Amino acid sequence: MDGTNLTAVMEFILLGFSDLPKLQGFLFGIFFVIYMIILIGNALIIVITQVDPTLQTPMYFFLGNFSFLEICYTTVTLPRILMNLWTQNGHISFAACAVQLCIFLILGLTECFLLAVMACDRYVAICKPLYYSLIMNHKVCTRLVAGAWISSIPVVTILAYQIFSLPFCGSNKLNHIFCDIHPLLKVACGDTSLNELSVYIDGVLFGMAPFLLILVSYIKIITAILKLPSAMGRYKAFSTCSSHLMAVGLFFGSALIMYVRPKSSHSAGIDRILSMFYTIVTPMFNPMIYSLRNKDVICALKNLLEVKYSWC
């Protein structure tokens, strides 16, 4: 294509829910309530894991970091979605789109790594209980969390640079609710096959690797639990892992389908639903999953609210 015929794209238009004009106000209300639930629910978990003495353990240290991550992860996309629904104007600058994609992917990979770290913590707690306090000391936990936050930055920076170095010379309309990889590649000019291959490889390496680590950890955990002589012991061990397993299933299930499935199976409608699931629905349910299925968290929350029950 002759370079003189190219018109550089200076901004993108997020189509979002423009195909549902009569539901814009309703969707704004729904997403606003969801965002408040995410902020309040995860903030409460952060507070109680910091102030309650009984929750000063590695498991709740990771949970507090995970809740903070969920707030950041959702804040990258939801406020922009709310603004677009309110103004019915999906314009976003080239630079803002690049920043949103970069931060979104960094936080997404961080969540993958942090979920893997939490699985390793449960493995040590159940399979090596006598060495738990020695292995999962505060220094190790801090390094694991720092590694989860930092390790994704170089990978995502390179990937985002490759995508935004592509020429965008045609349509600037992204049929999505935020700046994401596949909608951007669809509007890029020229051959994007190498970029698509890079996205697929990164998804397999940095998405599947943490998932496989989690899978191996839980195979060993379940094997160890089944060997416990006491039914009550098996129940308690399963209950401490069930919340994390549900969070893993919700996040990895939708995210891996989104980024690792073949290009031929991609469609704007399916992509939009899947992206809403792991960016909005999962962060909303995680505080409920970890609190409703965890007696320690419920008791700490009741103590924080000064509601005393004898069974606590």
Establish if 53 belongs to a structural domain.
Answer: yes
* Backbone φ, ψ for residue 151 (5° rounding): -60, -25
pLDDT for 49: 87
Q: Assess if residue 203 is contained within a domain.
A: yes
| Domain membership flag for residue 309 | no
Residue 310 domain flag: no
| 224, part of any domain | yes
The answer as to whether 311 is a domain residue is no
CA distance readout (Å), 90 to 13, 20, 50, 177 = 5, 14, 39, 9
In a domain, 279, yes or no: yes
pTM: 0.85
- The owner of tokens 């003495």 is 53
Residue 62 is predicted with a pLDDT of: 92
Please report, for the domain that includes residue 173, its CATH number.
Answer: 1.20.1070.10
198: left (phi over 0), alpha (psi -120 to 50) or beta: alpha
**Structural domain of 18:** 9-304
Q: What is the pLDDT along the chain (312 residues), one digit of tens a residue?
A: 444 444 566 788 888 887 777 888 898 999 999 999 999 989 988 988 888 888 888 988 998 999 999 999 999 999 999 999 898 888 899 899 999 999 999 998 999 899 999 999 989 988 888 899 899 999 999 999 999 999 889 988 988 888 888 888 777 888 888 998 888 888 888 778 888 888 888 877 887 888 889 989 888 888 888 887 777 767 776 776 777 777 787 777 777 666 666 655 556 667 777 778 778 888 888 888 777 667 777 777 777 776 544 445
Number of domains in the chain: 1
- Is 312 inside a domain boundary? no
CB-count exposure of residue 78 (10 Å: 0-12, 13-18, 19+):
buried
Strand partners, 91: 13
Q: What is the pLDDT of residue 43?
A: 92
Using DSSP's 3-state secondary structure scheme, residue 169 falls into coil
139, burial (CB in 10 Å: exposed 0-12, middle 13-18, buried 19+): exposed
